[in-house]
Amino acid sequence: MTVSTIAALPSQSKGSVEDIIARFQRAKTKRDPWISLWQECYDFALPQRNDLQGFQNQGGRKTDHLFDGTALDAVDQLAASLLAELTPPWTNWFGLKPGVELSAEEAEAISPKLEDATRIMQDHFDRSNFSVEIHQCFLDLVTAGTACLGFEEAEPGHFTAFKFSAVPLNQIVLEEGPQGYLNTTYRLHNLRYEVLRQRFASIELPDQLIEQAKRDPQASFTVLEAVIPERLKYRHIVLLNETGMEQIILSDRMLRSSPYINFRWLKSPGEIYGRSPVMKTLPDIKTANKVVELILKNASIAVTGIWQADDDGVLNPANIELLPGTIIPKAVGSKGLTPLDMPSRFDVSELVLSDLRSRIRHSMLTDRLAQINDRRMTATEVLARSSEIVRLLGATYGRLQSELLTPLMMQGYTILRQRGQIPDLSLDGRFVALDYRSPLARAQAQNNVQNILSWVNASTALGAAATEAVDLPATIRFLGEALGVPGHLIIRELPPIPTENTL
């Protein structure tokens, strides 16, 4: 595709690009009020993230104003729990299964192919940088309530077909679709000339940009990406939005799926961006930080003390050093240097701080999703803990399943399907459906498994007549699928179970 400026475009294309820029500005105006809240959450819970105002200060000292690390530790633990419960590394946390419109014979015939496709997809996820980038997204999700994961196809010849990137919130502007999905994404970011040339190798870049890059090899250029849904597909437009240059369209193409996956922790009615656990407990976080600061100041006073001295003409306070063995001169008859008694003590701060830290851990689910120190847990305790996790993360898991897991697996399926590495079948739920196998999804299925086992045990206790009412082969297959057993280990046609008459 050749380089095209707005002036050289047809009137319809020119208006379309101008409309996209106008939509971006309106969406950015709606996002700007969130910046200060996000920045405050990052300052107290995830300070090492880059400044949301756009200043790059990587590796800088950003914790000098922090005195309590409870929130920082809680954010790390909750993000790690989400990673372990939703997308555990090197674990089969998803799968493909026959759709609802297939008959039993068709489902049995297609199951081995879908199991092979699942292993191929899982292998590409494991070999990519998915675990690293999705963990960064979970940190953003817990802190700011909204996260964005870039998912693109890697260049041919790479070790994997997937390429992921955790997109910072200061680069993302979102629009909500009519069904509540964040399907329109704008990304405003800076790219160096080398990155531009590699990403758009088939495009002739403008001479002004090349000359500026020669003068300053480290110069970066502002690029605006717009991903807009159109007729069940996505239009991906990339504009060079550098000041002092003509606005140039670097790329304009149609995609089957969006390269950006946006997801939220909690959504309030009428709002586009999500709410986070840090936002809920931010008052306690700031108060605990202030209490620790006051405790440290009080401890400094208690160690060094506050002293008073008579102005006797001999004692010079400016030359006094409170060191062991120091001799301080004083006039005859004067008191010299005497300590000042403190009017009260600050012991109540320990009670306040303990309560604040407890509420922070409780709000961030740290005390309820943490690992159990006692390894001797009974089966009832394991089931109770699974039910507790499902109850706590049920609403959040439902949103993450629709906004993160489903688009993630569909994008991976589309990439491998285009490459011909998996069968050319439509992933629409009719012929091929998604199977969620994460630990949290399995915990939700535990109740059904326990109910079925209780029913089978009760039927067996009633005698042979009641046992005949149980379809054991179908029950075994259902339990195997609910527990995530691979399809090739389940025999579809079980031999008949011997009874007393056959014996």
How far apart CA 249 and CA 252 sit, in angstroms, is: 7
Backbone angles phi, psi at 93, to 5 degrees: -100, 5
Decide if 395 is inside a domain.
no
Decide if 502 is inside a domain.
no
Whether 84 and 68 map to the same domain: the answer is yes
Q: pLDDT-based confidence at 487, cuts 50/70/90?
A: low
Most confident segment among 59-63, 154-158, 489-493: 154-158
Of the three residues 247, 279, 311, the one that is the final residue of a domain is 279
Whether 255 and 199 map to the same domain: the answer is yes
Decide if 80 is inside a domain.
yes
pLDDT computed for residue 38 by the predictor: 94
* 232-283 pLDDT tens trace: 889 988 888 766 556 778 888 898 889 999 999 988 888 899 999 999 999 9
Whether 145 and 215 map to the same domain: the answer is yes
Decide if 369 is inside a domain.
no
Q: Could you list the residue range(s) of the whole structural domain that residue 308 is in?
A: 282-349
Percentage of the residues of the chain whose pLDDT score is greater than 90: 32
Most confident segment among 286-295, 317-326, 330-339: 286-295
Which whole number is the average pLDDT over 423-438? Answer: 87
- In this model, does residue 502 exceed pLDDT 50? no
pLDDT computed for residue 7 by the predictor: 37
C-alpha radius of gyration, the chain, whole number: 31
Whether 213 and 333 map to the same domain: the answer is no
pLDDT computed for residue 220 by the predictor: 84
* 285-321 pLDDT tens trace: 999 999 898 888 877 777 666 777 766 677 777 777 7
Of the three residues 349, 365, 386, the one that is the final residue of a domain is 349
Whether 326 and 308 map to the same domain: the answer is yes
Instruction: Find all residues with CB under 8 Å of 200, minimum gap 6, and list them.
Output: 238, 250, 251
Answer with the residue of higher pLDDT: 453 or 70: 70
Decide if 458 is inside a domain.
no
pLDDT computed for residue 249 by the predictor: 82
How far apart CA 391 and CA 311 sit, in angstroms, is: 70
E strand residue ranges, 320-438: 337-339, 432-436
- In this model, does residue 408 exceed pLDDT 60? yes
Whether 231 and 262 map to the same domain: the answer is yes
Determine contact, residues 488/115, Cβ cutoff 8 Å.
Answer: yes
pLDDT computed for residue 252 by the predictor: 86
Whether 256 and 329 map to the same domain: the answer is no
Of the three residues 227, 249, 279, the one that is the final residue of a domain is 279
Whether 256 and 117 map to the same domain: the answer is yes
Whether 296 and 270 map to the same domain: the answer is no
Decide if 368 is inside a domain.
no
pLDDT computed for residue 503 by the predictor: 43
* 51-95 pLDDT tens trace: 665 545 566 677 778 999 999 999 999 999 899 888 999 888 998
Answer with the residue of higher pLDDT: 348 or 290: 290
Instruction: Find all residues with CB under 8 Å of 39, minimum gap 6, and list them.
Output: 51, 52, 53
- In this model, does residue 8 exceed pLDDT 70? no
* 469-485 pLDDT tens trace: 787 777 887 787 777 77
With residue 66 as reference, give the H or E element that holds it.
none
- In this model, does residue 129 exceed pLDDT 90? yes
Determine contact, residues 99/431, Cβ cutoff 8 Å.
Answer: yes
Whether 310 and 252 map to the same domain: the answer is no
Calculate the average pLDDT of the chain: 81
pLDDT computed for residue 369 by the predictor: 63
- In this model, does residue 186 exceed pLDDT 90? yes
Whether 324 and 239 map to the same domain: the answer is no
How far apart CA 125 and CA 122 sit, in angstroms, is: 5
Percentage of the residues of the chain whose pLDDT score is greater than 70: 80
pLDDT computed for residue 269 by the predictor: 85
Answer with the residue of higher pLDDT: 27 or 503: 27
pLDDT computed for residue 14 by the predictor: 45
Could you give the number of structural domains in the chain? 2
Answer with the residue of higher pLDDT: 163 or 378: 163
Helices (H) and strands (E) in the chain, counts: 14, 13
Q: How far is CA 174 from CA 148, 191, 262, 365, 489, in A?
A: 10, 21, 9, 28, 45
Structure tokens at 495: 């031999």
What is the 3 state secondary structure string of 285-306?
Answer: HHHHHHHHHHHHHHHHHHHHCC
Decide if 291 is inside a domain.
yes
Q: What is the C-alpha end-to-end distance of the chain, expressed in Å?
A: 77
Whether 341 and 237 map to the same domain: the answer is no
Answer with the residue of higher pLDDT: 369 or 294: 294
pLDDT computed for residue 85 by the predictor: 85
Decide if 466 is inside a domain.
no
Q: pLDDT-based confidence at 383, cuts 50/70/90?
A: low
Which whole number is the average pLDDT over 344-361? Answer: 78
Query: Which of 7, 450, 70 is CA-nearest to residue 248?
Result: 7
Using the structure block, give the residue that is written with the tokens 């300590």: 339
